[in-house]
Amino acid sequence: TTVLVLNGPNLGRLGKRQPEIYGHTTYADLVGLCEQWGHDLGLAVEVRQTNHEGVLLDWLNQAADDGTPVVLNAAAWTHYSLALYDACAQLTAPLVEVHISDPKNRPEEFRHTSHVTPHAAHEVVGQGVDGYRVALEHLAGDRT
Ligand code: DQA
């Protein structure tokens, strides 16, 4: 099974961006970790990141056509993109929502809403980059 791990805006700067919140693991490290975790679970994992919303929508549309399971950290788009809501709604294979932090336990009110959660089979929040491993484990489990 191939799984897409899709990351939204500013996550390319992981490790440099607000490390007190998101940790010191770099985005390059995250890619390697996800590939390794996937390998251990028997999943072919492809990790992508974009700062351009339409690019993410195109990836989600393709995943819907292909029936590909998705691990999604849509970052700030999570909180306000209705196009993201619609794109997630049409997915056919399981979707797992991931956030490195726990948005609902952060002070900004805007982080308390998610347009991904209504369509997600599982949510993994507040576990740092290890959350991606937990998300992949959910997908590996859901297959059986
Ligand atoms: C995030 C949480 C979002 O609120 C924020 O906009 C991000 C990262 C996380 O992984 O904790 O960019 O999705």
Residues 7-19: pLDDT tens digits?
Answer: 999 999 999 999 9
Q: Is the dihedral of CA 127, 96, 105, 33 positive or negative?
A: positive
Residue nearest to atom 13 of ligand 1 (CA): 75
The pLDDT-based confidence of 143 (bands split at 50, 70, 90) is low
Q: Is the ipTM of this complex over 0.95?
A: yes
Please tell me the predicted confidence (pLDDT) of residue 142: 72
CA–CA separation, 103 vs 108, rounded Å? 8
Chain mean pLDDT for the chain: 97
The pLDDT-based confidence of 1 (bands split at 50, 70, 90) is confident
pTM of the model: 0.97
Q: Give per-residue pLDDT as tens, 30-76.
A: 999 999 999 999 999 999 999 999 999 999 999 999 999 999 999 99
The predicted model gives 80-96 an average pLDDT of: 98
Q: What is the largest CA-CA distance in the chain?
A: 39
Share of the chain above pLDDT 90, in %: 97
Tell me the CATH number at 66.
3.40.50.9100
With beta carbons less than 8 A apart as the criterion, state whether 96 and 135 touch: yes
Our mutation pick for probing the ligand 1 site, out of 100, 111, 127, 132, counting the most ligand atoms within 8 A of Cβ, is 100
Ligand 1 nearest-atom number relative to CA 103: 4
CA–CA separation, 83 vs 19, rounded Å? 29
Residue nearest to atom 3 of ligand 1 (CA): 75
Domain tally, the chain: 1
Domain assignment of residue 70, given as a range:
2-143
